[in-house]
Amino acid sequence: MNWVNAVVQGLLLGGLFALFACGLSLLFGVVGVINLAHGDFAVLGAYVAVLLLPSTATNALWALLFVPPLFGFFGYLLQRTLLQRSLEISPLTTLLVTFGLSVVVQNGLLEAFSADSHSFNVGSLVTSSFKVDEQLQVSYLRLGVLLVAIAVLSVLSLFLARSRTGIQIRAVADDREAAQMSGVNTRHIVGVAAAIAFATVALAGLAYGMTAQFAPYSGSALLLFAFEAVVIGGIGSLWGTLGGGLILGLAQSIGFQIDPSLGVLAGHLVFLGVLAFRPTGLVPARAAA
Amino acid sequence: MTAVPALEVRALTARHGQLTAVDGVGFSVPAGSVFALVGANGAGKSTLLRTIAGLHRPVAGSVHLHGDDVTATGPERRVGRGLVLVPEGRRLFPSLSVHENLRVGLARRRPGQWDIDRVLDLFPWMKERRNQPAGQLSGGEQQAVAIGRALVANPSVLLLDEISLGLAPVVVQRIYGLLPALLTTGMTVVLVEQDVSQALAVADQVQCLLEGRTVLDGVPAQLTGPQIEAAYFGLAGAGR
Amino acid sequence: MTAPTGASTGYRVRRLRRSALWTALPSAGVVALLAYVPYVLERKVTDTLVDFFILLVLATTWNMLAGFAGLVSVGQQAYIGVGAYAVLVLAQQGVNPFAAIPLAALVCAAVSLPVSWLVFRLRGGYFAIGTWVVAEVFALLVIRFESLGGGTGANLPGLDGFDAVLLGAMTYWAALSVAVLTLLGAYLLLRSRTGLALTAVRDNELAARSVGVRVPRAKRMVYLAAAAGAGAAGAVLVITQLNVQPGNVFSVKWSAYMVFVVLIGGVGSLEGPILGAIVFFVLQRALADYGAWYLIVLGAVAVVMAVWVRRGLWGLLERFDVRVFPTGFWLQAPGGDVARPPRDDPPPAPRH
């Protein structure tokens, strides 16, 4: 092992975290929902793929075609029903509701699929990589995840900056009532934002399932990583989220390089360090993602 | 036969918790005229306007737009039917640019002569600064953008809430100078104003609120200064 | 802040004093009865009740956090774990594990102070996840110590000499004491100035600040007290199980239990968590044979309660004017008539 390798692998891992974080960030920025079931929904997405793919031999890349749209639809419905309803009571209620959903999803998956780990079949992609030098190999799959993360963030930024719906989403994030008095159907717009967030969650869950084994309880750790990426990068900034994801990936990878049991802890400590020493901008501004 | 009023409010009552902010207020505004609501701080003017716009749920009474009852219609759908509010405090989207703020106003645009280009013609300075975040504008500029954001929806009834608040007199004059241009397009204007002389100067009809109730109602030319003063401050003999 | 006496108006605000006496007597009776249980019932019953007391303590402290201080934490397992490991460390040094329970609570309060400096920088939902991260960090740090058994945990020394029946009874009394002290502490805290301040904050933080309530201080005090309570619960947990497993004591499942108990029983009253703990406990036992289903059912019930039955089961009962712990006020009119505050309204905010 060498340090260059640790840095490169860390950046690749960071792409996955950024992909996880962007849904969390969007949902909070626009909808005002902190989704404690975020990680569990990602894992649910992976299991939905397991369920719907015709056989375990089918290449899981096909799931990319139908699971994210399915989750987008699911996110829209969830927002328009349960989440909307709980938000009208208070943000803290929403928090508790998503926490309850998290427990329901985890244990539902446990009942349906047992505690055994699953993994996807992605054909030869799982092992193929290119060699930079003797000590540095880059997996096509992991590189692909990072590129997908960058692509998703780019498309999302462009969508929020240019499209009519995107501008309305940002307007709602700024001032929901003012958007309403300008004629924006805020409930629908918030639902659309939730749909996008859920589609990216499903995408992140599939990416995770292709690069690692997943089990019903995997979601909790994923939520924490996504959250850390958001806070490290600066709450409310989409590209900051990418930066936060990369920093978190680096911290875990370098920690792992020092001592394999240190990986996750190093990430947490970097997060706490940011919280302790760079608290400015950490108080969530309800700005657009 | 009398023409259907552009806006009619019947015995509207609205509360904030236990407090009755608007208590049985009613009026009717003919199309193409200016109606002014005056009153001291806390008289219930803004709540009344917000209730008319659908942002606040009334406990009693009704709101009729061109003869149609819109009391149960959501605020965004009222925009689509021609009832648009320019809220107190401007309420622009601070992180959005001037141009984007105007674009949000297009959400339920009705056919008509107003569009973004026409607003930019009305306020030429906006052209060069269309990409500036609205949060960086001065108060007067923000007010102009807020009015522009309402105009692009082509309202038939425009509700203006305290548009002079916090602005320099010269800016206020400029903004009120726009009114005739709006009226020539057939628009109906309902404005809330703390500055009584300003309101009297532009209004065809004026109503004074005190503690949520109508205490004076009339045509500006027929009201005397002491009459208005008494109603405004709730002095005895104000015709209650 | 003093309660307004309003001599000029003739109105007087009084505690629900007579009612308080009627609370104290039966409560003392119930505690005495419970203390007698080990003499008449077998070990299986007392062990079950110990689990119940732990749940009750956790739910009560979480309710203080969320229901009164508006701090929704999903990381209280940090202090369950620290409390458990504090007992382990002290026992390894020769301290009697029972004597270590209050020390464990103190350790948790001490640890929670620096933690509060960090997590109080986060608001709302971010605070919730932040506390969870802290709990994970504690777990990951603790398992690095070989002397504490690493990732597999360790057995609790110091209780080998005890007779099994006596040990069961002592554990029971320890758990009962912790539960009674927690409820009493919560009751007194809510009746104190801090409690008044918190109630004011919960109802309207801005208004409370503007009349001079020191909001951060009040919130921090509750956070420390809740940490101490969770620590004591963790200490009892390790004594009843006679070993520490990091995966168990630092598990987020404890937070799930706390949230569910309080949501079912009712947020923001002292009685709610007691009722919730009883219901939760019964459901947990009844559904024990159905594997993960009990958590699915409880999670779904909690979601439904949070959205559709916001004041929980206790809130439903309160409609019939049942009240055990009087934390409210009477407003006495000049004529001597006593006006009760409307049931759904919180007590009046303190004024100068």
* Eight-class DSSP state of A234: -
Touching check for A88 and chain B: CB below 8 Å? Answer: no
- Give the pLDDT confidence score for residue C55 in this predicted structure: 95
C-beta of residue B231 within 8 angstroms of C-beta of residue B41 = no
Q: What is the β-pairing status of strands B34-38 and B188-193? A: parallel
- Give the pLDDT confidence score for residue C208 in this predicted structure: 67
Q: Is residue B87 part of a domain?
A: yes
Q: Of B60, B63, B67, B27, which is closest to residue B208 (Cα–Cα)?
A: B27
CB contact under 8 A, C74 and A269: no
Residue numbers in chain C where pLDDT is lower than 70: 1-21, 201, 203-213, 321-352
Q: Is residue C74 part of a domain?
A: yes
* Eight-class DSSP state of C7: T
Instruction: Name the residue facing B93 among A175, A180, A186 (closest C-beta).
Output: A175
Q: Is residue B53 part of a domain?
A: yes
- Give the pLDDT confidence score for residue A204 in this predicted structure: 96
Q: Is residue C177 part of a domain?
A: yes
Best to test chain A binding among C126, C145, C250 (most A CBs inside 10 Å): C126
| Beta partners for residue B64, in sequence order | B8, B69
User: Range with the lowest mean pLDDT among A146-150, B67-71, B230-234?
Assistant: B230-234
CB burial string B59-82: b at 16+ within 10 A, e below: eebebbbbeeebbebebbebbbbb
Residue B21 maps to which CATH number? 3.40.50.300
Count of structural domains, chain B:
1
What's the pLDDT tens digit per position in B76-125? 999 999 999 999 989 999 999 999 999 999 999 999 989 999 999 888 89
Token pair 């009226």 is found at B183
| Beta partners for residue A118, in sequence order | A214
Chain A residues inside the 8 Å CB shell of C256: 99, 103
In this predicted model, which residue has the larger pLDDT, C138 or A274?
C138
Q: Of A175, A158, A179, which is closest to residue A287 (Cα–Cα)?
A: A175
Q: Is residue C267 part of a domain?
A: yes
CA distance C100 to A171: 56
Best to test chain B binding among A162, A169, A170, A182 (most B CBs inside 10 Å): A182
Q: Is residue C118 part of a domain?
A: yes
Percent of chain B with pLDDT over 70: 97
* Eight-class DSSP state of B3: P
C327: left (phi over 0), alpha (psi -120 to 50) or beta: alpha
- Give the pLDDT confidence score for residue B240 in this predicted structure: 42
| Beta partners for residue B31, in sequence order | none
CB contact under 8 A, A92 and C70: yes
CA distance C148 to C155: 9
Residue A116 has pLDDT above 60, yes or no: yes
CB-count exposure of residue A1 (10 Å: 0-12, 13-18, 19+) = exposed
Structure-block tokens of residue C295: 């958590």
In this predicted model, which residue has the larger pLDDT, B2 or A20?
A20
C332: left (phi over 0), alpha (psi -120 to 50) or beta: beta
Instruction: Name the residue facing B105 among A170, A182, A288 (closest C-beta).
Output: A182
Q: Is residue C119 part of a domain?
A: yes
Phi, psi torsion values for A226, nearest 5 degrees: -60, -45
Q: Is residue B125 part of a domain?
A: no
Beta-sheet strand order (sheet of B68-69): B19-29, B7-16, B60-65, B68-69
Instruction: Name the residue facing C118 among A91, A95, A275 (closest C-beta).
Output: A275
Token pair 């103190």 is found at C106
> Residue B127: which residues within 8 A CB-CB, separation 6 or more?
B120
In this predicted model, which residue has the larger pLDDT, C292 or A205?
A205
H or E stretch covering C70: none
Q: Of B53, B61, B54, which is closest to residue B20 (Cα–Cα)?
A: B61
Q: What is the mean predicted confidence (pLDDT) over B186-197?
A: 89
Q: How far does chain C reach from its first CA to its final CA, in angstroms?
A: 5
Touching check for A81 and chain B: CB below 8 Å? Answer: no
CB contact under 8 A, C256 and A231: no
Strand, helix or coil for residue A59: coil
Strands in chain C per DSSP E: 12-15, 154-155, 243-244, 329-332, 338-339
Residue C120 maps to which CATH number? 1.10.3470
Phi, psi torsion values for C340, nearest 5 degrees: -85, 140
Residues in A 217-276 with any Cβ partner in C closer than 8 A: 220, 223-224, 227-228, 231, 235, 261, 264-265, 268-269, 271-272, 275-276
Q: Is residue B130 part of a domain?
A: no
Q: Is residue B139 part of a domain?
A: no
CB-count exposure of residue C5 (10 Å: 0-12, 13-18, 19+) = exposed
Count of structural domains, chain C:
1
Residue span of the structural domain in which B169 resides: 7-93+155-233
Q: Is residue B142 part of a domain?
A: no
Q: Is residue B79 part of a domain?
A: yes
Q: Is the pTM of this model over 0.80?
A: yes
Nearest-Cα distance to chain A for C114, in Å, is: 11
> Residue C25: which residues within 8 A CB-CB, separation 6 or more?
none
- Give the pLDDT confidence score for residue B126 in this predicted structure: 92
CB contact under 8 A, A180 and B150: no
* Eight-class DSSP state of C143: T
CB contact under 8 A, A182 and B103: no
How many CB atoms lie under 10 A from the CB of residue B35? 25
H or E stretch covering C327: none
pLDDT confidence of B58, banded at 50, 70, 90?
Answer: very high
Q: What is the mean predicted confidence (pLDDT) over B216-227?
A: 85
Nearest-Cα distance to chain A for B164, in Å, is: 19
Chain A residues inside the 8 Å CB shell of B105: 182-183
In chain B, alpha helices (H): 45-53, 75-80, 98-104, 116-122, 125-128, 139-151, 169-176, 179-184, 196-202, 225-233
Q: How far does chain B reach from its first CA to its final CA, in angstroms?
A: 31
CA distance A55 to A62: 12
User: Range with the lowest mean pLDDT among A242-256, A267-281, C122-136, C290-304?
Assistant: A267-281
Provide the ipTM: 0.90
Q: What is the largest CA-CA distance in chain A?
A: 62
Q: Is residue C244 part of a domain?
A: yes
Q: Please give the mean pLDDT across all residues of chain B.
A: 90
* Eight-class DSSP state of C112: H
Residue A287 has pLDDT above 80, yes or no: no
A259 to chain C: closest CA residue = C144
CA distance C86 to C224: 16
> Residue C75: which residues within 8 A CB-CB, separation 6 or more?
C119, C128, C130, C131, C132, C133, C134, C135, C255
Chain C residues inside the 8 Å CB shell of A264: 136, 140
Q: Is residue B105 part of a domain?
A: no
Strand, helix or coil for residue B187: coil
Nearest-Cα distance to chain C for A72, in Å, is: 22
CB contact under 8 A, A185 and B107: yes
Chain A residues inside the 8 Å CB shell of B92: 178
Residue span of the structural domain in which C254 resides: 8-339
- Give the pLDDT confidence score for residue C17 in this predicted structure: 53
